[in-house]
Amino acid sequence: MTVFQQYGLLVAFFISTVGLVATLHLIARSLGRNRHEPGKDVPYTGGTLAPKPVWVRYHFHYYGFALLFLAFDMEMAFMYPWAVVYRELGIAALLDMGVFLAILFLGILYGWSQGALRRQ
Contacting residue, 2, 4, 84, 99, with other proteins by CB under 8 A = 84
**Torsions phi, psi for 117 (to 5 deg):** -90, 55
110 near other proteins, rule: CB under 8 A: no
99 near other proteins, rule: CB under 8 A: no
Binding to other proteins (CB under 8 A): which residues in 14-73?
14, 17-18, 21, 24-25, 27-28, 31-32, 34-35, 37-62, 65-66, 68-69, 72-73
**Torsions phi, psi for 34 (to 5 deg):** -70, 150
Is the CB of 87 or the CB of 114 nearer to other proteins?
87
**Is 106 within 8 Å of 75 (Cβ atoms)?**
no
Residue 1 exposure: Cα atoms within 13 Å on the Cβ side: 8
